[in-house]
Amino acid sequence: MPRRSKKPHSFRAGDCPAETQTKQTAPDSPVKGGPNPVNAGGACSVSPTSDSIMPASDGPDVPVPESLPAPIAELPPAPVAIPLSTWRPACGVAVTGLSHSRKGLPCQDAVAWRSEGRPILALSDGAGSAAVSERGATALVSGVSRFLVSLEDVLSPWLDDPAEQAPEQTMRWVRRLLVHARGILDDLARSERRDVRDLRATLLVAVVGSVRTFWWQVGDGAIAVRYGDALHALGDASKAKGEFANQTCFVDAANLSEVQFGLLPTAKVSGIALMSDGGAERLVASNGSRVAARIGEWFDAAASERLTPDKIVLAFHDPAMWERTSLDDRSIVLAARTGSENFRVAGYDKAPLEIDTRGHEQQIATDHSF
């Protein structure tokens, strides 16, 4: 299927749904993918440097490995349960981009999170040319978050029980989230007597368990984790964006093959962050091969409860964060836990485990050099 276009002047992709939709950006914006806001001193007590954010450069990214190791059969034996109480309150914010501010447009990003009990994070980025995509984005993050909270009795065995058959449950949840997210937009469109394409948006979700952490993504944006001692971007950036620049897919027309998702052993995860494509422009390399040190600094600050939305906003407004970017809306929501140094567990010192859309677990190659 043809892929829906996200921004003006985009190329047509070859294998996503037919209809096109543009997302507003600055006319001279660079190729998307890097990071977002820079930290403003107070958030992590580090002033912006070239090491804490991605460089404002159109130069080539570090190449992504071309092949993956052979699939493995299951998660490492005897998974370790990490108390959910070690996770500190989540923190998130959505900031209107300069391109939208100059045109008098609202912020079309939305974030939601739950910190009590099980950490749940959600982020959505509305399509720029959709009439009221900000409403769709807000409805998605609030509706999906409540949906997950309401099914705690189903989430708990899947993510907290070492004996649970994770792959089977994972595929059920991948489908369940897609059906529910599309239903949220359909219901909102019906109630407002609109075409659902007026509300279209991307969606990123993360749910933390004591044994497993689940992530799910439709459309562009970035999900970064601190896995062991290294920062990693999850998923395939090229799949999220399509075959050409400025392309993405949206929840309202997505099918199962367009959902990226995976499981990670929580014992090795000490921080997880969801970012819109604008938020990631100066924090994640465009091909997902590197994650800026600023994310690690924010994880540290969140784990010690020193990170606040105001500090992220100040970081996002730093001039270095806007230099040679699309000037798009910027959003991020993240959570981190304490005591990660106490969970260096034998059998988990491997690259992150992900489950692809066929339900097979595999070990992914990652870049540890950045």
Three-class DSSP labels, the chain = CCCCECCCCCCCCCCCCCCCCCCCCCCCCCCCCCCCCCCCCCCCCCCCCCCCCCCCCCCCCCCCCCCCCCCCCCCCCCCCCCCHHHECCCEEEEECCHHHHHCCCCCCEEEEEECCCCCEEEEEEECCCCCCHHHHHHHHHHHHHHHHHHCHHHHHHHHHCCCCCHHHHHHHHHHHHHHHHHHHHHHHHHHCCCCHHHHCECEEEEEECCCEEEEEEECCCEEEEEECCEEEECCCHHHHHCCCCCECCCHHHCCHHHEEEEEEEHHHEEEEEEECHHHHCCCECCCCCCECHHHHHHHHHHHCCCCCHHHHHHHHCCHHHHCCCCCCCEEEEEEEECCHHHCCCCCCCCCCEEECCCCCEEECCCCCCC
Closest CA to 275 of 55, 105, 48, 32: 32
Residue 275 belongs to a domain: yes
Cα gap 36→126, rounded to integer Å: 17
Tally of domains in the chain:
1
Cα gap 178→161, rounded to integer Å: 24
Residue 5 belongs to a domain: no
Contacts of 146 (CB under 8 A, 6+ apart): none
Contacts of 144 (CB under 8 A, 6+ apart): 112, 122, 177, 180, 181, 184, 203, 205
Give strand pairing partners of 94.
Answer: 331
Give, for all 370 residues of the chain, the pLDDT tens digit: 444 444 433 323 333 333 334 344 433 333 233 333 222 222 222 333 335 776 654 444 444 434 333 333 344 445 789 999 999 999 999 998 877 778 888 999 999 999 999 999 999 999 988 999 999 999 999 999 999 999 999 999 999 999 887 788 899 999 999 999 999 999 999 999 999 999 999 999 999 999 999 999 999 999 999 999 999 999 998 887 655 555 789 999 999 999 999 999 999 999 999 999 998 998 999 899 999 999 999 999 999 999 999 999 999 988 877 777 778 899 999 999 997 544 343 333 344 433 333 333 333 322 222 2
pLDDT of residue 53: 72
Contacts of 135 (CB under 8 A, 6+ apart): 126, 188, 192, 199
Residue 234 belongs to a domain: yes
pLDDT of residue 167: 83
**CATH code, 169:** 3.60.40.10
pLDDT of residue 54: 66
Residue 176 belongs to a domain: yes
Residue 253 belongs to a domain: yes
Residue 192 belongs to a domain: yes
Residue 165 belongs to a domain: yes
pLDDT of residue 102: 82
pLDDT of residue 47: 31
pLDDT of residue 105: 87
Neighbours of 14 (CB within 10 A): 12
Q: How far is CA 77 from CA 54, 126, 348, in A?
A: 37, 41, 9
Give the range of the structural domain holding residue 157, as residue numbers without chain letter: 84-343
Residue 277 belongs to a domain: yes
pLDDT of residue 55: 63
Residue with tokens 């040679």: 324
